[in-house]
Amino acid sequence: MQLPDGLVAVVKRDCPTCTLVEPVLRGLGAAVWCQDDPDWFDGDDTGLELSYRLGIETVPTLLRVEGGRETGRVVGWSREQWEELTGAAGLGPGLPEHRPGCGSLSVDPSRVDELEARYGDGLASRRVALADLEDEHEALFDRGWTDGLPVVPPTPERVLRLLRGTTRDPREVVAVVPPDLVACTVEKVAVNAVMAGCLPEHLPVVLAAVEAACAEEFALHGLLATTYFSGPVVVVNGPVARRVGMNSGVNALGQGNRANATIGRALQLVVRNVGGGRPGEVDRATLGNPGKYTCCFAEREEDSPFAPLAADRGMPGDAVTVFAGAGVQPVVDQLSRDPESLARSFAACLRVNAHPKLPMAFDAMLVVSPEHGQVFREAGWDRARLLAELDGLLQLPAGELVRGAGGMAEGLPPGVGAEQLPKFRPGGLLVTHAGGDAGLFSAIIGGWVSGETGSVPVTREVRG
């Protein structure tokens, strides 16, 4: 928009200071644009394009324009400053020396998203026009962009609002998303986070989760293509979990918390809508598990016997760990009051992960509840001590693992060259701490195949 040379002012009739200086503006012969009354002055800015492009935050604003460029600006009414800007003396002799202005309509919180969508640099994502009679929610179902539940329509205004949750460039490539290996930008993540129901403050956590899940060692393509149950499980550590309102306590693995539900769901929608990982296509799970809608929780750090999971994995502070999880198996032990007994209960339950006769084949995550955690905390057991105890308890006699043993055809082929085999590969068992204060129940989240043929957990920093 080309401005005329000379004096230019932006006002609104609803502003007392603007009405106060009306005679001054008319006497100066300024080009005056009004935000809320097209008939007050000759300039009609009720669409707020001029105010948006000039970055007007307060009215009245008086500008000097030379050669089509702004060379000076005064905000509000100040006789001294207006006289200096205009070169005219004796302005507004009957007016007070100074009056502050009013907020510009272009920075009204209810309008900024619409104005940015209309007049800003714009989003790079493709726009999809819906027919007048189309229901927007049904249209998203029809186009295959949902996970089976309704999603929030990702309008430009909503996407721009969500992007304010990060300082990262919307066009920055966050990751290359399997299975289609599509470059995914911050903006594309924001589009799917809107659909998932995220708030702007959730976006940095979603971005970290996408980075972690798309790391080569996580093997997301294989995780999608497998017929096994697994999908990404997101564990969040650090102050960010509290800032964004995540649940690490009562029902931490369940429903009801917006941040937990939508952060995990946003990751799954990115995999579906950007990477092409759709059930029945590349996603070949025989049964799947409900966690493939979303599985995300914060670790309960404040009274944990363990250091934060991410910190123990070399990433202190705000971070996410992504694990290929296959569903939740309850662990009940309401009688153990010493760590040795409780560790034996955990080991007995962990042995059946996937199948009791398959060692080193599947990873697992043990989620220790606070009441169980208290047993370890009072005994001075940290994560390393518990893992060492479990490793010793989970050395399995090879004779019990071979095919046919116990009357089960499943198992290892004959000729196992060791007397004992560990249930988990080194690093294949993760231990976290979460849950409500009451209940002597913990949980095992079974994992997918491990090592070179499967997935390893990945931890990434949450960046603003």
Domain ranges of the chain: 6-119, 139-461
What's the pLDDT tens digit per position in 31-42? 999 999 999 999
Give percent above pLDDT 70 in the chain: 100
Give percent above pLDDT 90 in the chain: 95
Average pLDDT on 210-238 reads 96
Confidence check: pLDDT of 451 > 90: no
Strands 43-44 and 31-34, how do they pair?
A: parallel
Write down the pLDDT at residue 452: 76
Lowest mean pLDDT of 17-26, 414-423, 431-440, name the range. Answer: 414-423
What's the pLDDT tens digit per position in 45-62? 999 999 999 999 999 999
What's the pLDDT tens digit per position in 350-408? 999 999 999 999 999 999 999 999 999 999 999 999 999 999 999 999 999 999 999 99
pLDDT class for 1, splitting at 50, 70, 90? low
What's the mean pLDDT when you consider all of the chain? Answer: 96
Average pLDDT on 196-222 reads 97
Q: Tell me the CATH class for 6-119.
A: alpha beta
Confidence check: pLDDT of 450 > 90: no
Q: Is 0.95 surpassed by the pTM of this model? A: no
Write down the pLDDT at residue 415: 84
Average pLDDT on 339-356 reads 98
- Name every residue whose Cβ is closer than 8 Å to that of residue 268 and which is 6 or more positions away in sequence: 147, 196, 231, 232, 292, 293, 294
